């Protein structure tokens, strides 16, 4: 996602910034980061969502050595029959996901609606 966003940046913008006296750091901060922000946010979301929700893959690959949030929820429902605590953890996890999505929406503005296309 980040690579695609960076490829969509018009090289004329970078040349114009150089002509106006911007150095590489200023071009990065003032042009590349704002224009690639939707790709950065969507890339982070693509990493965050499976990290908080998958539990089968961690059991298959890691042999159940590491406890993830998904593993804890599965354990509460299936093994310990503690439905109240499992539901509470699930609601906290959903709240965190909604908060992260809301922050991503605030950061990117309306670019998220257009599929990350800023230009």
Lowest mean pLDDT across 4-8, 58-62, 80-84: 58-62
Q: What is the pTM of this model?
A: 0.61
Q: What is the DSSP letter of 30?
A: I
Q: What is the pLDDT of residues 68-114, one digit of tens each?
A: 788 888 889 999 999 999 999 989 988 988 888 888 888 777 554 45
7: pLDDT strictly greater than 70: yes
pLDDT for the residue numbered 12: 93
Contact present, 73 and 55 (Cβ < 8 Å): yes
Q: CATH fold of 2-114, please?
A: MetI-like fold (1.10.3720)
pLDDT for the residue numbered 103: 83
Give the DSSP per-residue string, 47-78: HHHHHHH--HHHHHHHTT-S--HHHHHHIIII
- Nearest CA to 51 among 109, 100, 15? 100
């Amino acid at each position: 996602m980040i690579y695609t966003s960076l490829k969509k940046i018009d090289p004329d913008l970078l040349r114009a910034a150089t002509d106006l006296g911007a150095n590489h750091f200023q071009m990065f901060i003032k042009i590349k980061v704002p224009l690639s922000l939707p790709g950065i946010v969507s890339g982070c979301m693509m990493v965050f969502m499976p990290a908080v929700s998958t539990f089968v893959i961690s059991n298959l690959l890691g042999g159940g050595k590491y406890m993830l949030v998904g593993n804890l929820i599965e354990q509460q429902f299936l093994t310990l029959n503690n439905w109240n605590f499992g539901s509470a953890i699930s609601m906290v996890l959903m709240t965190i996901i909604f908060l992260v999505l809301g922050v991503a929406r605030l950061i990117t503005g309306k670019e998220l609606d257009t599929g990350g296309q800023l230009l």
